[in-house]
Structure 1
């Protein structure tokens, strides 16, 4: 079993931070509208100060994800556009999984997908795509699995605790000691 320290280091080694992902996505959104934004435009879009935007954008430049032209307009580099495509794709995959497969409310699914979009590995993203494709298919096992899942509750009656509930309770009890 992987240690918490190893997991934490892996988390810290992510390609970009959540904040950086939002800066890149904001620049990409402006570009899709046919606009090359300035730092102030990105700051306004994200609801942050111009100083904070300048610091983060400088970091994105240093990492080769953003370029600034002579008119102080922001452009994604090829590497930046690649990050945006991967993050946006994973966000959509997670949103679809949460909303369509698990039945999470659209607003909660969108928010949760945003929270994890930049953290998922390519392997996990691809596995989720395979699962969604299967569950959306006309395969009888997929239809049956979805039907049974929709009838399943998230809690056990007190007299019939399952292994998941027991292990979860044990983990919670252990963390408070």
Structure 2
């Protein structure tokens, strides 16, 4: 289930977008992340090759089971870490940006300890 930070960010973005839209396309991802569509297309090709996403003939992007597992893990980390930092008094924008960095490098053990402590 290993993916690099960039792949994890793309998968998380697909998950988040899919919660508020009927379909997700490369252009939606590019807009959300502020990236060029060509960069997103290259990333989507890699995610497809690694079987983390499927793309319909219409260009709609769907997470596979492995892609969804990674995306949900990263998104859970992001939500918990950012809300925790906010409760510690960190500005919400800074907390979100820091959570985005931390979510990719924190060990499962450390995250579970924080999660247990916070809840």
Structure 2 segments unaligned to the other structure (5+ residues)? none
Q: Which has the higher contact order (CA 8 A, sep 6+)?
A: 2
Answer yes or no: is 1:75 the counterpart of 2:62.
yes
Deviations 1:2-54 (A, max 9, x none): xxxxxxxxxxxx92233222211221123112422222222222211111111
SS in structure 2 of the partner of residue 118 of structure 1? helix
Residue 42 of structure 1, aligned match among 12, 29, 33:
29
Structure 1 segments unaligned to the other structure (5+ residues)? 1-13, 134-177
Q: Structure 1 stretches (4+) deviating beyond 2 angstroms?
A: 14-19
Compute the RMSD of aligned alpha carbons.
1.8
Q: TM-score, normalised by structure 1?
A: 0.61
Counterparts of residues 78-157 of structure 1 (less than 5 Å)? 78-100=65-87, 102-133=88-119
Larger Rg: 1
Say whether the 8 Å CA contact 1:27–1:76 is kept in structure 2. Answer: yes
Task: Give the drift of 1:86.
Answer: 0.5
Say whether the 8 Å CA contact 1:99–1:105 is kept in structure 2. Answer: yes
